[in-house]
């Protein structure tokens, strides 16, 4: 796989102004008491929520440390470390928190070692357990961390604190350095937590998804009209969610505006039934491709009926249905 897609690592900063201080404190409250914009924290808040490495363990403590260690231009930095959910899915659920703490702390140590700042740096980290809101694969476990760093760092050369900065120029690119440190830590942890075959397993998953989207090279199963009265082809199909589950839904082209006022059209998947076994999904896709009778709304209704069934009820239904029958008879 492309190692640049293994983990997102982004850095932002707040200015040491009244507005910056207010924004920073609001951010700390959010990080402490929320998993995402739509979900409250699932675990203990306050001091039990943060891992303190010198920047404090609560909103008040971290805010005070940010103010005490600010530079002329930076109140504090925030670093987000967010691994690819496909890779996290390979890690045993009971090991994911340990994986995330090791990843975050390892990235920070490696990154500042690469920069030659061997005196270390103060930081505090919080772990969030949100679910993905990706339209093609919603609801996947998406753990990530937010790390607060000060605006200054102690320099042995100057025997005092000096401004911490992130340069990005021809001479030195700290952001690229951060990405390389992140990739190195991800590879090492995946090898240890999953095994050296993790990359092959990921590539196999990607290959299967390519094979599944290839259904759109053939004749569509139906059509749909969007809000602008444009007609688009629809294919009833599958998308492999993980090594153990598959989602059933549909593929269709979606148009999105570009920066130059043009339009980009891409074929995307939308799940209607998730958490299916691979075999069950394949059987249902064959039947629903016929049963939808060319109508996307009919496909959605059929999937809705199936979604209310238990796995045992769906299995019994499949035993009574043949994939090549002219229509799927379900009492809606």
pLDDT per residue as tens digits for the range 108-117: 999 999 998 8
pLDDT reported for residue 121: 93
Q: Does this model's pTM top 0.85?
A: yes
Question: Three-state DSSP class for 237?
Answer: strand
How far is residue 254's CA from residue 317's CA, in Å, rounded to a whole number? 33
Domain that holds residue 310: 205-319
Any residues with CB less than 8 A from the CB of 118 and at least 6 apart, and which? 112
The two structure tokens encoding residue 306: 């199936």
Lowest mean pLDDT among 31-40, 87-96, 158-167, 318-327: 318-327
- Tell me whether residue 144 is in a domain: yes
For the ranges 16-20, 117-121, 240-244, 261-265, the maximum mean pLDDT occurs at 240-244
CA distance 298 to 293: 7
Q: What is the mean pLDDT of residues 233-245?
A: 97
Per-residue confidence at 330, pLDDT binned at 50, 70, 90? low
Mean pLDDT of 207-220: 97
Pairing of strands 34-36, 39-40: antiparallel
- The residue from 165, 196, 227 where one domain ends is 196
Answer yes or no: is 149 within a domain.
yes
Residue 20 lies in a domain: yes
Give residue 319's pLDDT: 81
Radius of gyration in angstroms for the set of CA atoms belonging to the chain, rounded to a whole number: 25
- Is there a domain that residue 142 lies in? yes
Query: Based on the domain organization, do 187 and 43 belong to the same domain?
Result: yes
Average pLDDT, the chain: 91
SS3 of residue 90 by DSSP: coil
How large a percentage of the chain has pLDDT more than 90?
A: 73
The closest of 242, 244, 264 to 255, measured between CA atoms, is 264
For residues 277-288, give the mean pLDDT.
Answer: 93
What does the alpha-carbon distance between residue 200 and residue 183 come to, in Å, rounded to a whole number? Answer: 17
Q: Is the pLDDT of residue 126 over 50?
A: yes
The whole-number pLDDT of residue 324 equals 54
In a domain, 324, yes or no: no
Instruction: Compute CA distances 130 → 3, 42, 43, 79, 113, whole Å.
Output: 23, 9, 12, 17, 30
Tell me: do 49 and 150 sit in the same domain: yes
Asked whether residue 77 is assigned to any structural domain, the reply reads yes
Asked if residue 301 and residue 182 are part of one domain, the reply reads no
* Contact in structure between 244 and 224 (CB atoms under 8 Å): no
Contact 216, 231 (CB under 8 A): no
User: Tokens 């505090």 appear where?
Assistant: 124
Q: Do 131 and 12 fall within a single domain?
A: yes
Span 45-50, average pLDDT: 68
pLDDT-based confidence at residue 38 (cuts at 50, 70, 90): confident
Report the distance separating Cα 250 and Cα 234, nearest Å. Answer: 7
Q: How confident is the model at residue 326 (pLDDT cuts 50, 70, 90)?
A: very low
Task: Kindly state whether residues 13 and 153 are assigned to the same domain.
Answer: yes
> Could you give the CA distance from residue 15 to residue 151 in angstroms, rounded to a whole number?
9
Task: Give the pLDDT confidence score for residue 201 in this predicted structure.
Answer: 97
Same domain? 130 vs 13 = yes
For residues 113 and 220, state if they share a domain.
Answer: no
| Among candidate residues 162, 196, 230, the one where a domain is terminated | 196
Residue 332 in domain: no
CB 144 within 8 A of CB 130: yes
Average pLDDT value for residue range 280-285:
94
Is 327 a member of any domain? no
**pLDDT > 80? residue 64:** yes
**Residue scoring higher pLDDT (47 or 142):** 142
Of the candidate ranges 9-13, 40-44, 214-218, 257-261, the one whose mean pLDDT is the lowest: 40-44
pLDDT of 47 reads: 56
Which domain CATH number covers 140?
Answer: 3.30.930
Task: Specify the pLDDT at position 263.
Answer: 86
pLDDT at 207 (0 to 100): 97
Indicate if 264 and 154 belong to the same structural domain. Answer: no
pLDDT at 260 over 80: no
Q: Binning pLDDT at 50, 70 and 90, where does residue 127 land?
A: very high
Cα separation, 305 vs 20, whole angstroms: 51
Query: Per-residue pLDDT averaged across 236-246, rounded?
Result: 97
């Amino acid at each position: 796989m492309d190692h640049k897609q293994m983990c997102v690592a982004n850095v932002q900063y707040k200015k040491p102004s009244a507005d910056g201080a207010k924004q920073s404190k609001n951010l700390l409250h959010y990080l402490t008491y929320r998993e995402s914009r739509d979900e409250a924290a699932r675990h203990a808040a306050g001091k039990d929520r943060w891992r303190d490495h010198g920047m404090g363990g609560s909103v008040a403590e971290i805010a005070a440390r940010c103010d005490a260690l600010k530079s002329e231009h930076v109140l504090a930095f925030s670093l987000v470390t967010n691994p690819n959910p496909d890779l996290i899915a390979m890690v045993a659920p009971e090991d994911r928190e340990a994986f995330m703490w090791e990843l975050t702390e390892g990235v920070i140590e490696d990154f500042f070692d690469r920069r030659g700042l061997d005196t270390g740096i103060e930081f505090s980290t919080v772990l969030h357990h949100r679910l993905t809101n990706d339209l093609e694969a919603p609801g996947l476990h998406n753990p990530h961390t937010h790390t607060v760093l000060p605006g200054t760092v102690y320099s042995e050369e100057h025997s005092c604190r000096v401004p911490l900065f992130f340069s990005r120029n021809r001479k030195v690119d700290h952001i690229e350095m951060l990405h390389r440190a992140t990739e190195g830590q991800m590879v090492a942890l995946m090898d240890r937590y999953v095994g050296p075959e993790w990359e092959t397993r990921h590539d196999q998953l990607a290959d299967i998804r390519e094979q599944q989207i290839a259904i759109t090279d053939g004749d569509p199963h139906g059509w749909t009209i969007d809000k602008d009265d444009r007609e688009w082809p629809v294919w009833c199909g599958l998308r492999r969610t993980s090594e153990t589950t598959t989602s059933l839904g549909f593929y269709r082209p979606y148009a999105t505006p570009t920066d130059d006022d043009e339009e980009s059209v891409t074929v995307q998947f939308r799940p209607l039934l998730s958490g299916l076994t691979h075999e069950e999904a394949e059987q249902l896709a064959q039947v629903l491709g016929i049963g939808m009778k060319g109508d996307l709304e009919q496909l959605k209704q059929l999937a809705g009926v199936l979604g209310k069934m238990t796995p045992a009820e769906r299995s019994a239904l499949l035993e009574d249905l043949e994939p090549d029958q002219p229509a799927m008879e379900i009492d809606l």
